[in-house]
């Protein structure tokens, strides 16, 4: 009997307006705390996920040889370290480009990536054509499209001659957009 009475008062108390608002407050408080802690954790997690977009993308001049390394009228493969190598990148920090020497002071550098889907084009010296192994893209020696699916000419790098040194200005891997 005593027990039943207690339960009744308990129930009354449980549903009193004061109790209800207290309960609501506690519910909101607990959810608020959970949301706040999740939000705080999310900041570093999302930063890691989006890290590549949050980093700057520097472009650097890299030496690829001296003027005399490149005979007139030839196209040669040059390799260099990309602009932002991570200390642990090892061999993957390397990039390549095709360097053409037209005349004494005129150098043109082409990205090695086909503008179709990025595969590595190779220079066929005797045919004087760049050819892509993936889907049959072909380019003339000036980088314009000769045949196949590429939508635009090979991407060019800036080149400068500084005290007999030939330097290339690095760039991101050329990504062909939808408008090309």
Partner 1 sequence: MKKLFKKIWYWIDDRTGISELITPLLKHPAPPTRLWTYVFGSATLFVFVLQVITGVALSLLYEPSSNNAYQSLEFITNHAKFGNVLRGIHYYGASAMIILIGLHMMRTYITASYKFPREMNWITGVFLLLFTIFMAFTGQLLRWDANGVWSSVVAAEQLGRVPFIGKYLARLLLGGDTIGGQSLSRFYSYHVFIAPAGIFIFIGLHLYLVFRNGISEPPKAGRLIDPKTYRAWYEKYLKEKSVPFWPNAAWRDVIFSSLIIICIIVLAVFMGAPALTSAPDPSVVHTSPTPDWYMIPFFALFALMPHKIESIAMMLGPLLTIFLLFSIPFISNKGERSPMKRPWAMFGVICVFIFIISLLIVGLKAPWSPHFDAKPLPLSAIKQANPDSTVIEGVHLFYNKGCEYCHKINKYGGLAGPDLTVVGNRLSEQELTIRIVNGATNMPSYGGLLSKDELKRLVAFLASQK
**Cα–Cα dist 145/130, whole Å:** 9
Tell which one of 149, 153, 156, 158 touches partner 1 (CB under 8 A).
149
Q: Within 10 A of 59 (CB to CB), how many other CB atoms are there?
A: 14
Segment contacting partner 1 by CB under 8 A, of 19-27, 37-45, 148-156, 160-168: 148-156
By the 10 Å C-beta count (0-12 exposed, 13-18 middle, 19+ buried), 55 is classed as exposed
Residue 95 touches partner 1, criterion: CB under 8 A:
yes
**Cα–Cα dist 152/118, whole Å:** 12
Give the interface size with partner 1 as a residue count (CB under 8 A).
Answer: 59
State the alpha helices, DSSP H only, in the chain: 2-14, 17-49, 51-54
Within residues 50-79, the interface with partner 1 by CB under 8 A covers: 50-53, 55, 57, 77, 79
Segment contacting partner 1 by CB under 8 A, of 1-9, 17-25, 30-38, 88-96: 88-96
Q: Which lies closer to partner 1 via its Cβ, residue 29 or residue 77?
A: 77
Q: Which lies closer to partner 1 via its Cβ, residue 22 or residue 94?
A: 94
Q: Give the bridge partners for 122, in sequence order.
A: 131
Q: Which of 99, 113, 37 is nearest to 70 (CA)?
A: 99
Locate tokens 């001659």: which residue?
161
**Cα–Cα dist 94/80, whole Å:** 6
**Cα–Cα dist 136/114, whole Å:** 10
Residue 39 touches partner 1, criterion: CB under 8 A:
no
Residue 87 touches partner 1, criterion: CB under 8 A:
yes
Tell which one of 65, 76, 102, 129 touches partner 1 (CB under 8 A).
129
Segment contacting partner 1 by CB under 8 A, of 1-9, 23-31, 91-99, 100-108: 91-99
Q: Which residues bind partner 1 (CB under 8 A)?
A: 50-53, 55, 57, 77, 79-80, 82-96, 112-113, 116-122, 124, 126-129, 131, 133-136, 138, 140, 146-149, 151, 171-173, 175-180
């Amino acid at each position: 009997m005593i027990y039943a009475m207690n339960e009744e008062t308990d129930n009354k108390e449980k549903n009193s307006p004061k109790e209800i608002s207290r309960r609501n407050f506690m519910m909101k408080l607990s959810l608020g705390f959970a949301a706040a802690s999740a939000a705080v954790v999310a900041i570093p997690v999302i930063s890691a996920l989006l890290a590549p977009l949050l980093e700057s993308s520097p472009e650097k001049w890299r030496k690829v040889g001296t003027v005399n390394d490149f005979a007139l009228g030839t196209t040669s493969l040059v390799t260099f370290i990309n602009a932002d190598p991570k200390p642990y990148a090892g061999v993957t920090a390397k990039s390549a480009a095709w360097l053409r020497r037209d005349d004494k002071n005129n150098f043109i550098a082409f990205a090695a990536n086909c503008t179709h889907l990025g595969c590595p084009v190779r220079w066929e010296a005797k045919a004087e054509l760049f050819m892509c192994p993936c889907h049959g893209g072909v380019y003339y020696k000036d980088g314009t499209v000769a045949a196949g699916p590429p939508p635009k000419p090979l991407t060019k790098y800036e080149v400068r001659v500084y005290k007999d040194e030939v330097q290339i200005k690095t760039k991101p891997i050329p990504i062909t957009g939808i408008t090309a």
